[in-house]
Amino acid sequence: MSPTRVLVLNSGSSSVKYQLLDMSDGSRLAVGLVERIGEETSRLKHTPQGGEAREWSGAVPDHEAALKAVAAELAKDGRGLDSPDLAAIGHRVVHGGKHFTEPTVIDDAVLAEIERLIPVAPLHNPANLTGIRTAQALRPDLPQVAVFDTAFHTTMPESAARYAIDVETADAHRIRRYGFHGTSHAYVSRATAKLLGKAPEDVNVIVLHLGNGASASAVRGGRCVDTSMGLTPLEGLVMGTRSGDMDPAVIFHLMRVGGMSADEIDTLLNNRSGLIGLCGDNDMREIRRRIDEGDERARLAFDIYIHRLKKYIGAYCAVLGRVDAVAFTAGVGENSAPVREAAVAGLEGLGLAVDGELNAVRGDEARLISPAGARVAVAVVPTDEEMEIATQTYALVGKDGMGSEGD
Ligand code: ADP
């Protein structure tokens, strides 16, 4: 029997999220998280399939220690990193630039390219690299695959991917719109086609990934043609703590008139803007609770969030020409009926509407919330980035005939 298990690692600057999946039946054998790596007290939570969650706190000084702790937890379930059932490790890598259009088996050249991209992803790529190097050290014989957040967006035409700035300057600094959340947009656009009973090639979908970070994409026949995030995940929609679109002159103004440094403005726009900057809360549940109590600041924050979202829906209707479905996903998109209702309110002229009763239904399955017979399907489609990374990793490893020892 060929090994069928894939360990998915999502290494952030101070955390490692992981899942062990069995690709023979799509089951999740373990799900876990190590948080606050490098701090005085780190925390690990590990939940094996069908079992109780195990949690502990202690010192986890670096990513190597974190991965060893993960390996130890998996070993307790009899599924350690040394298991012959493990086919590959799939790594989420945030920035793959223009170069990486597909999941890629990691070798020294791939590592060097991910490293070369650090200037455009200074927060994410270093952490991803550390995760990869640590996993390689623990299992040097095992194929390791990089699945890039940007890859799904590399099909964007130049007209959507380029900023209208001096071409030489842009190219010298690799400034263009790369887009992010690509794994989610890929998964959700395909799952939406499936919900409609059609092939991805036959449908045009607007995907609204609304989590703490948020992005929209226009997907024509399975290929991304536009997305709202740009050079970095700061562009586009109003997010939990990020501003999204803004006149770039605000930055010069804050420097010249406000006396702020580039780093201070970076922190302002990434961490103290969006919903939290507007009303002090970035959790949509809390914002809705405050609105119900008559809080005006929360109301305005919600209205600004919805106004931007609507503009992107309208823009992507225009980009696609024909829209078959609008899919809501991620924490807010999957759970907030008021956001979904407000986002399409008044867009009947574009064929968009939600049915109040269907919209109020809660659940984990992909489902339609538009009225029967609607011109454009509106859907809630839960995202599953880990499953997508595992699927892409396994497909690649299988295709290359790797990981098939023991046949
Ligand atoms: P990320 O992966 O970007 O951190 P998620 O996709 O997990 O984010 O989304 C997190 C956000 O989802 C929270 O900040 C909160 O605003 C929102 N959210 C989660 N559950 C609910 C809910 N039941 N109702 C409304 N919003 C929710």
Parse the chain into domains and list their residue ranges: 5-148, 199-385
Q: How far is the CA of 273 from the centre of ligand 1 (A)?
A: 17
Q: Do domains 5-148 and 199-385 have the same CATH topology?
A: yes
Contact 87, 4 (CB under 8 A): yes
Among 336, 362, 381, the mutation site with the greatest number of ligand 1 atoms within 8 A of its Cβ is: 336
The rounded radius of gyration (Å) of the Cα atoms in the chain is 22
- pLDDT surpasses 70 at 406: no
Spatial separation of the C-alpha atoms in residues 133 and 9, rounded to whole Å: 12
- In angstroms, rounded to a whole number, what is the distance separating the alpha carbons of residues 127 and 388? 20
Task: Describe the strand order of the beta sheet including 42-48 as a list of residue ranges.
Answer: 54-58, 42-48, 27-35, 16-22, 5-11, 86-93, 144-148, 104-105
Where does residue 41 rank: exposed (0-12), middle (13-18), buried (19+ CB within 10 A)?
exposed
* Pocket of ligand 1, beta carbon within 6 A: 211-213, 240, 282-285, 330-332, 335-336
> Could you give the 3-state DSSP secondary structure of residue 108?
helix
| Per-chain mean pLDDT for the chain | 94
pLDDT at position 119 is: 85
Determine the pLDDT at residue 225.
Answer: 98
Distance 331 CA to ligand 1 centre (A): 3
Structural contact between residues 226 and 215, judged by C-beta atoms closer than 8 angstroms:
no
Taking alpha carbons only, the member of 187, 161, 230, 232 closest to residue 327 is 187
Structure confidence at residue 123 as a pLDDT band (50, 70, 90): confident
Asked whether the predicted pLDDT for residue 350 surpasses 90, the reply is yes
What is the pLDDT at residue 407?
A: 33
Region of 356 (left: φ > 0; alpha: ψ -120 to 50; beta: rest) is alpha
Give percent of the chain with pLDDT exceeding 70: 98
pLDDT band at residue 122, thresholds of 50, 70 and 90? confident
From the alpha carbon of 285, which atom of ligand 1 is closest? 25
Q: What is the mean pLDDT of residues 279-289?
A: 97
> Tell me: the pLDDT tens digits for 233-280?
999 999 999 999 999 999 999 999 999 999 999 999 999 999 999 999
Which one of 283, 305, 381 would you pick to mutate in the ligand 1 pocket, going by the greatest count of ligand atoms within 8 A of its CB? Answer: 283
Catalytic residues: 149
What pLDDT digit, counting tens, does each position of 167-202 carry? 999 999 999 999 999 999 999 999 999 999 999 999
In this predicted structure, the answer to whether residue 85 has a pLDDT above a threshold of 80 is: yes
What is the DSSP code (8-state) at residue 349? G
Highest-scoring range by mean pLDDT, 36-45, 59-68, 196-205: 196-205
Between 37 and 158, where is the model more confident? 158
Residues 5-148, CATH architecture: 2-Layer Sandwich (3.30)
How far apart CA 177 and CA 153 sit, in angstroms, is 9
Dihedral of CA 23/25/26/30: which sign?
negative
Could you say which of 3.40.710.10, 3.40.50.620, 2.40.10.220, 3.30.420.40 is the CATH number of the domain covering 199-385? 3.30.420.40
Mean pLDDT of 32-41: 91
Q: How far apart are the first and last CA of the chain?
A: 5
Number of Cβ within a 10 Å radius of residue 368: 19
Average pLDDT score over residue span 361-370: 95
Which residues 6+ apart lie within 8 Å of 241 measured at CB?
A: 212, 270, 271, 272, 273, 274, 275, 276, 277, 282
Tell me how far apart the alpha carbons of residues 315 and 310 are, in angstroms, rounded to a whole number: 8
Q: For residue 139, count other CB atoms closer than 10 A to its CB.
A: 17
148 has a pLDDT exceeding 50: yes
pLDDT of residue 405: 36
